[in-house]
Amino acid sequence: MRLGAVHMIVTDMERMLSFYQTYLGLQVHWKKAGQAGVGTGKEDLVVLHEDPAAPHFAQTTNIYHFAIFMADRITFAKAVARLMAKRWPNYPTDHLISETTYLEDPEGNTIELTLETPERGTIEYGEDGMPEFRDAEGNLRSGRDPVDVQALFKTLKVGEDLETLLPLSTRIHHVHLYVNDMEKTREFYRDIIGFNEMSFVPQIGMADMGPLGYVVHMLAYNIWRGEGAAPLPKGAAGLKYFTVVLPSEADLKKALERAEKAGIKTKELDGGHLLYDPSQLGVLIKA
């Protein structure tokens, strides 16, 4: 199981394409009739759907952020340095098992650039369900420390070219959602789509999911916009749908059978099947 393209509804296509190229080092794969796909030259990572009249909603379900995978420390260092050199606000954060930086695109959507670092520590969950971060020496860590940016930039050469494109190894790492019901969301992504539950922490209204053996979550969701928050209206700015690529046609068939049994409607689209989670957020599943 892996993630495919994240589809976003935006109001200004040209501004967004300029952002992805100039600040993130992605390239435009194609563009037609109010749509465009960006990535690294292979399959699309993000697909933009333009609607200048699309309304923005601040307190509905929606995407919280999506994360772009950085294959190695040099790639991550160059990405952060590029943002800082161009004065684009971003927030390097040390999650211990990953180093990341968070930034907003021109329309306020949050993007995370993430480097997996599982060798630096572990996360364990206590009886209360709360996460506990310990580094490789056994010391407690917050999981929210700032990245040591000076140490990070020492991996780069003096005069390093920061304008290079992100490498072909770049992919969508995870998607994090604002939802309106923890338990129903849990059942949908676990029992219908087929994710494995990694953590479920009602105390902070957040859960992590991923394939078996996955180190850092592939899917996360929270209720930080409120239990019972209004669903994102169709056609609003923000998430249109994200893509889950299942390992085989047999896995796809089983997921569709589970959806049908649960009374969840699906629609054939873009070589896959579109369905909506309990918070009315779109998920495209394909093999």
Quick one: pLDDT at residue 127?
Answer: 74
pLDDT value at position 124? 85
Average of per-residue pLDDT across 96-100: 96
Q: Compute the average pLDDT of residues 48-73.
A: 97
Instruction: Please give the average per-residue pLDDT across 55-65, as a whole number.
Output: 97
Given a cut of 80, whether residue 199 has pLDDT beyond it is: yes
Phi, psi of 203 (to 5 degrees): -60, -30
pLDDT in tens, 145-184: 999 999 999 999 999 999 999 999 999 999 999 999 999 9
> How would residue 130 be classed by pLDDT, with cut points 50, 70 and 90?
confident
Count of the separate structural domains present in the chain: 1
Check if the beta carbon of residue 78 is closer than 8 Å to that of residue 156: yes
Average pLDDT over residues 223-233: 97
Rounded average pLDDT over 206-218 = 90
> C-alpha distances in angstroms, 226 versus 180, 230, 281?
6, 9, 16
Find tokens 């309990």 and name the residue.
278
Name the pTM for this structure. 0.96
Question: What is the SS3 assignment for 223?
Answer: coil
pLDDT at 268: 97
Average pLDDT rounded to a whole number, residues 225-230: 97
Q: Which residues pair with 65 in a beta bridge?
A: 110, 176
pLDDT at 125: 79
Confidence at residue 249, expressed as pLDDT on a 0 to 100 scale: 97
Mean pLDDT highest for which of 50-59, 195-204, 207-216? 50-59
**Alpha carbon distance 275, 262 (integer Å):** 12
Pairwise CA distance, residues 25 & 166, whole Å: 5
Residue 203 has what pLDDT? 85
Closest by CA position to 34, among listed 58, 55, 10, 5: 10
pLDDT at site 267: 97
Domain that holds residue 23: 2-286
The CATH number for 154's domain is: 3.10.180.10
* pLDDT mean over 249-272: 97
| pLDDT interval class at 215 (50, 70, 90) | confident
Q: Residue 10: pLDDT above 90?
A: yes
As a whole number, mean pLDDT of residues 240-267 equals: 98
Based on C-alpha coordinates, what's the Rg of the chain? 19
For the cut 80, the answer to whether the pLDDT of residue 266 exceeds it is: yes
Does residue 126 surpass a pLDDT of 80?
A: no
pLDDT band at 105 (very low <50, low <70, confident <90, very high): very high
- Determine what percent of the chain is predicted with pLDDT higher than 90: 94
- Sheet (strand 238-245) strand order: 27-32, 35-39, 46-50, 2-10, 238-245, 282-286, 272-276, 267-269
- Using the predicted structure, report yes or no on whether residue 287 has a pLDDT greater than 90: yes
Q: Identify residue 55 by its one-letter amino acid code.
A: P
Tokens of 13: 């296509």
Whether residue 110 is predicted with pLDDT greater than 90 in this model: the reply is yes
